[in-house]
Amino acid sequence: MKIFRIALVLMLVCVFTSVASEARPSQNVIDFMNVLNGVFTNKKQVDDEIAQNSSVRHELSVFTFLPVVVPAFGETPVIWLRQIYAYMFEQQLLVVKETDDGNILITPYHFTKNLYKGSRLYDLKIYKDLTEDDFTYIEDCNIVFTRVASDFYVGHWPDCVDRTQPDNKLNVTCNVLTIEVTSSESPEYGLEPYYHELEGNKFPLPPFLSDIDKTKVCS
């Protein structure tokens, strides 16, 4: 289940566009920021498979979705995503917007390599000082989520590097994130979906969002 690939190919398509937006985030966007939020891990799934000596084994996968304030993106909501998958570590910034037809559109931004040095990587304070030079994005690699209930979104997440691959399918609720690998090329094709459960509490939204949050989904 590779949602991300560490690929130097990115260098080819590195352009920064300003995503700062005048529009106030909608309640749908704020609700989404509350749902796709927190630390989700499939630790129980992995442990159960070991305990049962199952012939099916999932890799350990841990996602952290943390809402952050990044002035370079203005008041457009941003989620800092870290993924640990098997022996791989990857992080991105996810810029969250709503489309005209009410879907959630995420644009993933990668960090340029100057951020990959030492302990700065883990220092949240660096986000307020980031400038355009610190990001790259992959053109036309959009992640789309559709709302199916007040606290349930279904998403398609493409492999942004190998465009021939079909999207991974994600279902996210307040407490569970499932990911289904839909690529028949993948060795994990046909495997039961990855089943991640929320670990601990949701993260608070930045004040500019929580102040206008009328529904407080997931709290």
Ligand X SMILES: *[C@@H]1O[C@H](CO)[C@@H](O)[C@H](O)[C@H]1NC(C)=O
Specify the residue, 55 or 119, whose C-beta has the smaller distance to ligand X.
55
Task: Report how far apart, in Å, the C-alpha atoms of 148 and of each of 3, 21, 22, 32, 153 are.
Answer: 22, 26, 27, 12, 6
Specify the residue, 15 or 51, whose C-beta has the smaller distance to ligand X.
51
The CA-CA-CA angle for residues 142, 77, 90, to 5°, reads 55
Closest contact distance (angstroms) between CB of 53 and ligand X is 4
Q: Can you tell me which of 193, 203, 205, 209 binds ligand X, judged by CB under 6 A? A: 193
Contacts of 84 (CB under 8 A, 6+ apart): 60, 61, 62
The CA-CA-CA angle for residues 203, 32, 45, to 5°, reads 70
Cβ–Cβ < 8 Å for 45, 202: no
Residue count of the chain: 219
Q: Can you tell me which of 55, 114, 119, 131 binds ligand X, judged by CB under 6 A? A: 55
Question: Is 49 among the residues that bind ligand X (CB under 6 A)?
Answer: no
Question: Is 53 among the residues that bind ligand X (CB under 6 A)?
Answer: yes
Closest contact distance (angstroms) between CB of 169 and ligand X is 7
Binding to ligand X, residues 131-150 (CB under 6 A)? 148
Measured between alpha carbons, how far is 43 from 20 in angstroms, rounded to an integer?
Answer: 37
Question: Is 154 among the residues that bind ligand X (CB under 6 A)?
Answer: yes
Question: Is 52 among the residues that bind ligand X (CB under 6 A)?
Answer: no
Specify the residue, 66 or 144, whose C-beta has the smaller distance to ligand X.
144
Binding to ligand X, residues 76-105 (CB under 6 A)? none
Element (H, E) at 188: none
Question: Is 171 among the residues that bind ligand X (CB under 6 A)?
Answer: yes
Cβ–Cβ < 8 Å for 170, 177: yes
Closest contact distance (angstroms) between CB of 61 and ligand X is 14
Specify the residue, 130 or 217, whose C-beta has the smaller distance to ligand X.
217
Residues in touch with ligand X (CB under 6 A): 53, 55, 148, 154, 171, 178, 180, 193
